[in-house]
Amino acid sequence: MQLSLNSDDAIIKLMLILAHADENYHENEEKVIKDIVKKNNIKLGSYQKILEEVKNSKASYKEECLGALQLIKDENLRKKTLRSLTNLAAADFILHEDEMLLLQLISDEWGMYKERLKIKDAELQQ
């Protein structure tokens, strides 16, 4: 499925990659993702296609993640996505090593570190 730049589908793909990183799609993770699908008026068929792509991909989760990261360029959308991913990682009440590694990869690729975000927020307020 071809995903558009800065699309809700790209965010859902990242979330599904993270949810499957530990090879266990927990029902709480599914609920979080489906709530976002519903909130953003994403077609259930699109969600199902992306889910199947993630589950059946021959690429590593890291490769899948790096590809999906390239689709989200907007700074505010990146912040929103990172918050959603963090909430998703905690949804099953266990923070798995694979999830932490993917979150670290995302923050590295997007250059989103706590100190940098504070500086950027301060700059925006000026």
Please state the domain extents for the chain: 8-125
**What is the C-alpha to C-alpha distance for residues 13 and 122, in angstroms, rounded to an integer?**
31
pLDDT at residue 117, as a whole number? 46
Predicted TM-score (pTM) of the model is 0.83
pLDDT at residue 43, as a whole number? 92
**What sign for the dihedral angle of Cα 46, 33, 65, 10?**
positive
Residues of the chain with pLDDT > 70: what percent? 89
Catalogue the E-assigned strands of the chain.
Answer: none
Model confidence over 34-75: pLDDT tens digits?
999 999 999 999 999 999 999 999 998 889 999 999 999 999
**What is the C-alpha to C-alpha distance for residues 20 and 80, in angstroms, rounded to an integer?**
20
Amino acid at position 125, single letter: Q
pLDDT at residue 113, as a whole number? 67
Does the domain at residues 8-125 carry the CATH identifier 1.10.3470? no
Model confidence over 77-97: pLDDT tens digits?
998 899 899 889 888 888 888
